[in-house]
Chains A and B, each alone.
Chain A
């Protein structure tokens, strides 16, 4: 049973560029949440997708957007990258209305 997978593992971008991160949920899960973890901090909730729609959103600007596909996989897009966007981006999957979330290994984004 495959767990949550994320790609790529690492990514280096320059300011102003755009980036897309990808996540495949654990088998059987239908809900995907994205978190940003800055160095030395706890993860911060970005948004959550269910039935291909954004259901909840944290305190992040519109530069952060996402998508969920019919197979429940998800993408996180960040436009106009800032130095402050450098972080570990974690994807978590769950069953809708179930509180337990399973995390992927994350994508380390560095913005130069």
Chain B
């Protein structure tokens, strides 16, 4: 069974600084997708960034980027120039390839931004 592990229950960062959230996963599949979701206190789960396993290039979305290490089964999220609005729970998630849409989530990392 696929599992997703987030080993950092809580992280904090000074405003405008950079922070990296860790995620590892376990799968025997070769075709899959990885995501980082943000869940603020409003509870709405918001997609931050996605990575297709077949792509070697790391995904980037504005201040958010990932470090995808397929052999190591590692998928970390880097947030640059942290802003107060980045404070939230961050969940790493995995889904198998085409045709299987069940998301498997990690336990989350609570990110605090220090003004």
Closest residue to B92 on the A side, CB-wise? A42
Interface size class of B (residues with CB under 8 A): 20 to 34
Q: Among residues 47 to 65 in chain A, which have CB atoms less than 8 Å away from a CB atom of chain B?
A: 48, 56, 58
Q: Shortest distance in angstroms between A9's beta carbon and chain B's nearest beta carbon?
A: 9
Interface size class of A (residues with CB under 8 A): 20 to 34
Interchain CB contact (< 8 A) of A42 among B33, B91, B98: B91
Known contacts A103-B45, A105-B43: does B98 contact A97 (CB below 8 Å)? yes
Is B75 in contact with chain A by the CB < 8 A criterion?
Answer: no
A100 B47 Cβ-Cβ under 8 A: yes
Instruction: Map CB proximity to B onto A73-95 as digits: 1 under 8 Å, 0 otherwise.
Output: 00000000000000010101010
Is B61 in contact with chain A by the CB < 8 A criterion?
Answer: no
User: Of residues B4, B46, B103, B105, which shows the largest number of chain A Cβ atoms within 10 Å of its Cβ?
Assistant: B103
B44 A33 Cβ-Cβ under 8 A: no
A33 B45 Cβ-Cβ under 8 A: no
Q: Among residues 1 to 38 in chain A, which have CB atoms less than 8 Å away from a CB atom of chain B?
A: 31, 33, 35
For the complex of A and B, list the 6 residue pairs with the smallest distance between their C-beta atoms, beginning with the closest: A42-B105, A103-B45, A99-B33, A45-B102, A106-B43, A105-B44
14 A-B pairs within 8 Å (CB atoms) are namely A42-B91, A44-B105, A45-B104, A48-B102, A56-B101, A56-B102, A90-B45, A97-B99, A97-B101, A98-B101, A99-B50, A99-B101, A104-B44, A105-B44
